[in-house]
Amino acid sequence: MIAILKRGTSAQQAQHLIDWLKNMNLDVHVSTGTEITVLGLIGDTSRVDMELLSSLEIVDSVKRVSEPYKQANRKFHPNDSVIQAGQVSIGGGNFALIAGPCSVECEEQIIEVAQSVKKSGANILRGGAFKPRTSPYAFQGLKAEGIRLLLEAKKATGLPIITEIMDIRTLDLFEDVDIIQVGARNMQNFDLLQELGSTNKPILLKRGLANTIQELLMSAEYIMSRGNENIILCERGIRTYETATRNTLDLSAVPVLHELTHLPVVVDPSHATGRVSLVPPMAAAAAACGADGIMVEVHNNPSCALCDGAQSLTPVQFDEVAAKVRRIREAIS
Ligand code: PEP
Ligand code: MN
């Protein structure tokens, strides 16, 4: 349930109402916009007398929120959320250009890629240290050493870093990581989500291979319900019957999510398509449909990459993608 307060309501009047609602064992989520204040009521709202609440002098209107996700719901928080990763803002008109290799392989590789993507305009460096591979015999990532090398690249370039967590027992290693990624395969690892909800780290939550948009939002809700509201959603393609691409990039998820939620939405055209030739056009399309960022894989020598070389851009190709994305963003602004 949401209660929209009238313009001109004082902070004291609002607090009085919030205390009254909290006394009914409800959590109250307050969203203060430039125009209006919205109170989102979470919990058993069946005991709230809607007519009484609506009749209060400071209350403009009261609505039931039928969707099962509450804190992620745009009705609870009409303005776009802006997530802060180091000095970089994401959402609400701030664009994240995230680039880097699928996996961190060695110091030379990650530093070289970090420096070149920064030069091309990337504002966040990606790199996998813990890799969720389909085969247990495939390269599993450098793990703790991979995070150490990412931190070296962060020091060398000043770029904030994003890397994936697979197991909450490794959380201590992520202390200086700016954004923790939850990969597609872990989107519904509810224990992991809840534990990350108890941190204050920005979380990039990828859509699962076969998950609906509502399921993605319910996973965000798992994190938010524990107190961490710093979430960036990521569309990375879903499984369909199509085999021409690694996955099917559901770009309509971007405007759909923008309608349903205040959380920023980033698109990953690399894992969505699986082919380097398809990454530039889909990165451009993501920018054109209003994504709050893109995340692309870039490798200094894709043919020798230990993981996902076929979908990795070279630094020169990334430079062109970055320039095109900038032009598109200017054109649609
Ligand atoms: C990744 O970004 O490195 C990754 C494994 O992606 P996804 O979880 O989308 O497959
Ligand atoms: Mn990859």
Render pLDDT for 174-191 as a digit per residue (tens, 0 to 9): 999 999 999 999 999 999
Which residues of the chain fall below pLDDT 50? none
Question: CA-based Rg of the chain, rounded to a whole angstrom?
Answer: 21
Label each residue of 20-57 as H, E or C.
HHHCCCCEEEEEECCCCEEEEEECCHHHCCHHHHHHCC
> At residue 189, what are phi and psi to the nearest 5 degrees?
-85, 85
Instruction: Read off the pTM.
Output: 0.97
Ligand 1: residue of 103, 181, 203, 311 to mutate (most ligand atoms within 8 A of CB) is 181
Closest CA to ligand 1's atom 9? 184
- Provide the token pair at 37: 């204040």
Q: pLDDT digits over 9-63, tens only?
A: 999 999 999 999 999 999 999 998 888 899 999 999 988 999 999 999 999 999 9
CB-based contacts of 37, cutoff 8 Å, min separation 6: 4, 5, 9, 14, 30, 31
Ligand closest to CA 163: 1
Instruction: Answer yes or no: is the C-beta of 138 below 6 A from any ligand 1 atom.
Output: no
Residue 210 in 3-state DSSP?
coil
Q: pLDDT digits over 208-225, tens only?
A: 999 999 999 999 999 999
Render 289-332 in DSSP notation, one character per residue.
Answer: TT-SEEEEEB-SSGGG-SS-GGGPBPHHHHHHHHHHHHHHHHHH
Instruction: Answer yes or no: is the C-beta of 153 below 6 A from any ligand 1 atom.
Output: no
pLDDT at 234: 99
CA–CA distance, 37 with 10 (Å, rounded to integer) = 10
Instruction: Answer yes or no: is the C-beta of 208 below 6 A from any ligand 1 atom.
Output: no
Q: Helix H segments across the chain?
A: 11-22, 50-55, 107-119, 144-157, 190-197, 213-224, 253-260, 269-273, 279-288, 315-332
